[in-house]
Amino acid sequence: MNTADYVLFDPEVVRRPPGSPCFSCEIVSRTDSRHHVWYEDDVAIAFLNLYPRLLGYTLVAPKRHLEDVTGDFAISEYLALQRAVYRVGEALRSVLPTERLYILSLGSRQANAHVHWHVAPLPPGVPFEEQQFAALDRPVVLAPNDAEQEHLAKQLGEAVTARRM
């Protein structure tokens, strides 16, 4: 993608006022239909990031509203969620050229309290100084259209189903 494919990102768009509905819970309940869900099992849901810095940037969240990365989980629940993160990562790697797959949990009780993992495929050829945190913290985001996101979500869903992990 060239620079024309990027738009400035206002981080305030993800901040929710206290007491407002949780964005991940809205996606799980399907009351927020803007997101392209491409993986779901009994424990987790995965959907394309509305504000991706990298093509295929996906968020994986537990279906239950949990806020602490480890403390809210029984070990069996945590491992089941990490299995979903693994499946999502492998599907991304099978569909998109990926030099490195970034997986991390970010969020804040002030913006995105529902714990979630960011799974972002770094494409080959990105200069070193634009990799790692720099790749995820740019002031611009990709601007794919809805049809492109729908197509990518379909490909990823098919890939995760085909792998049967």
Angle value at C-alpha 80, between 74 and 86, nearest 5 degrees = 135
Tell me the CATH number for domain 23-163. 3.30.428.10
Angle value at C-alpha 21, between 143 and 89, nearest 5 degrees = 50
Domain boundaries, the chain: 23-163
pLDDT in tens, the chain (165 residues): 444 587 887 776 666 677 777 888 999 998 888 889 999 999 999 999 998 999 999 999 999 999 999 999 999 999 999 999 999 999 999 999 999 999 999 888 777 889 999 999 999 999 999 999 999 998 888 988 899 999 999 999 999 999 765
* Alpha-carbon span 73 to 112, nearest angstrom: 18
Would the pTM of this model clear 0.95, i.e. be above it?
no
